[in-house]
């Protein structure tokens, strides 16, 4: 139904390593959990939507690296890159079923602000901002929560044109700032839409299998190696693949518990090892690979609705393999090449929607933690074994298939 709407949303952002043109500078970012947007738009009867979007995104800096004698600048924990943008988006919604996929593009302007300090030298490296043209691509899916509300889940690739910035020493920084963002938004329509079509009927007890794909961001983790403040300081965003087999036992309303056995694997490339005040930060290569076999206990809320939220916990047995090499001063040296098996736990929140009688689409966030990992150290280390932990944030999309009749 045609009509105006308002929307609000939050998101998680990831900025890839950012190079600075004609300089030896590379900027590395942490995962960002501070992204928000508001929209005002109009939906046409033919599936098109036009909307004005105001957004704010921020990412903490992990490191600032110079490919010369200066090496890695140990930035302050409060260093950030902040982006404020105003965009005009055109989106097309495919009105195939209750779940409605959509694609879109947007253009506009953005103000990007950088604040970078050298913590060791106690000096400001860059404190400047600029305004430039910006654009984005959008792909997502929406589902109704009532006759006026709709929940949207989408991925956005956002980028601004080149900025010319000036450092505190007068040097020129020319760069852009690409962002990958996963967003969850709520839309309110001024006109009530058609009545909600409920999902297909289903049996109250069923076996199922589910395939899940997604992204994983590993957290920094301290290393107890006999030195002070050593940690795995930066991992790149990685991909995750999971397969689950479970059994759902539901009450008359569709609410109920699910138990499942889940196997999943992911890996994250290593970027930086931080040796604290002993020797500072060092570039690294290699990866941490994780394979987890676990049992999840999940509760589905609001059974029978188009969208069905759920929450759960899990415990598993995990194999973690670290293969990380340090790259300093033009040379490479093996830092760790070992694996360990340990117990892990996780908590998850998600939402699912029935696509057909047997198929259900799902999306979930989970926090996963292996509290105790022991690794054999190289011969040059002060201790023969290192103790660390491994934790990660995961965003997974799934397709669940109900088995049996």
Residue with tokens 């963002």: 181
Read off the pLDDT band of 346 (50, 70, 90). Answer: very high
Query: What is the number of other CB atoms lying within 10 angstroms of the CB of residue 371?
Result: 12
Full-model pTM: 0.79
> Strand 331-354 to strand 359-376: parallel, antiparallel, or no bridges (unpaired)?
antiparallel
Tens of pLDDT along 185-215? 999 999 876 665 554 544 456 899 999 999 9
> Strand 331-354 to strand 281-300: parallel, antiparallel, or no bridges (unpaired)?
unpaired
Please give the backbone phi and psi of residue 103, each rounded to the nearest 5 degrees, phi first.
-130, 155
* CATH classification code of 205-402: 2.40.160.20
pLDDT at 196: 54
Tens of pLDDT along 103-160? 999 999 999 988 877 655 555 567 778 899 999 999 998 888 878 888 899 999 999 9
pLDDT at 29: 78
Please determine whether the domains at 3-189 and 205-402 fall in the same fold group of CATH.
yes
Tens of pLDDT along 3-41? 999 999 999 898 877 766 555 566 777 777 789 999 999
**The domain over range 3-189 is classified in CATH as 3.40.50.620:** no
- Domain ranges within the chain, ordered by starting residue: 3-189, 205-402
Q: How far apart are CA 86 and CA 103, in angstroms?
A: 19
pLDDT at 270: 87
**Dihedral sign, Cα of residue 290, residue 293, residue 297, residue 301:** positive
Q: Which of 171-185, 272-286, 348-362 has the lowest mean pLDDT?
A: 272-286
Most confident of the ranges 163-172, 221-230, 240-249: 240-249
Q: How far apart are CA 197 and CA 269, in angstroms?
A: 44
Tens of pLDDT along 227-253? 566 778 778 889 999 999 999 886 545
Residue 358 has pLDDT above 80, yes or no: yes
Residue 70 has pLDDT above 70, yes or no: no
Residue with tokens 């490919």: 67
Instruction: For the chain, give the percent of residues with pLDDT over 70.
Output: 80
């Amino acid at each position: 139904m045609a009509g105006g709407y308002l929307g609000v949303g939050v998101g998680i952002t990831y900025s890839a390593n950012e190079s600075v043109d004609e300089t030896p500078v590379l900027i590395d970012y942490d995962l960002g959990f501070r992204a928000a947007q508001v929209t005002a738009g109009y939906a046409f009867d033919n599936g098109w939507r036009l909307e004005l979007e105001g957004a704010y995104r921020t990412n903490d800096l992990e490191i600032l690296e110079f490919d010369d004698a200066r090496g890695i600048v140990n930035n302050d924990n409060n260093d950030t890159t902040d982006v404020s943008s105003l965009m005009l988006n055109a989106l097309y919604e495919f009105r195939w079923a209750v779940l409605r996929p959509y694609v879109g593009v947007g253009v506009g302007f953005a103000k990007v602000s950088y604040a970078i300090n050298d913590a060791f030298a106690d000096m400001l490296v860059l404190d400047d901002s600029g305004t430039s043209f910006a654009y984005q691509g959008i792909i997502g899916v929406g589902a109704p929560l009532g006759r006026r509300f709709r929940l949207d889940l989408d991925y956005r690739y956002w980028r601004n044109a080149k900025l010319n910035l000036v450092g505190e020493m007068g040097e020129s920084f020319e760069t852009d700032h690409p962002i990958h963002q996963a967003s969850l938004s709520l839309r309110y329509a001024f006109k009530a839409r058609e009545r909600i079509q409920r999902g297909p009927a289903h049996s109250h007890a069923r076996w199922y299998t589910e395939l899940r794909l997604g992204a994983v961001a590993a957290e920094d983790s301290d290393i107890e190696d006999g030195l002070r403040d050593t940690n795995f300081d930066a991992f790149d965003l990685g991909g995750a693949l999971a397969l689950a087999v479970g059994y759902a036992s539901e009450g008359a309303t569709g609410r109920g518990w699910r138990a499942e056995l889940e196997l999943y694997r992911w890996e994250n490339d290593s970027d930086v090892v931080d040796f604290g005040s002993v020797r500072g930060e060092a570039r690294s290569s290699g990866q941490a690979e994780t394979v987890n076999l676990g049992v999840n206990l999940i509760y589905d809320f609001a059974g029978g609705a188009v969208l069905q939220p759920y929450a759960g916990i899990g415990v598993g047995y995990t194999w973690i393999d670290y293969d990380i090499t340090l790259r300093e001063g033009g040379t490479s040296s093996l830092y760790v090449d070992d694996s360990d098996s340990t117990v892990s736990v996780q908590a998850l929140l998600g939402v699912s929607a029935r696509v057909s009688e047997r198929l259900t689409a799902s999306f979930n966030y989970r926090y996963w933690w292996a509290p105790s990992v022991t690794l054999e150290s190289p011969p040059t280390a002060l201790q023969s074994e290192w103790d660390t932990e491994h934790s990660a944030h995961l965003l997974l999309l799934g397709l669940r298939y109900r088995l049996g009749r």
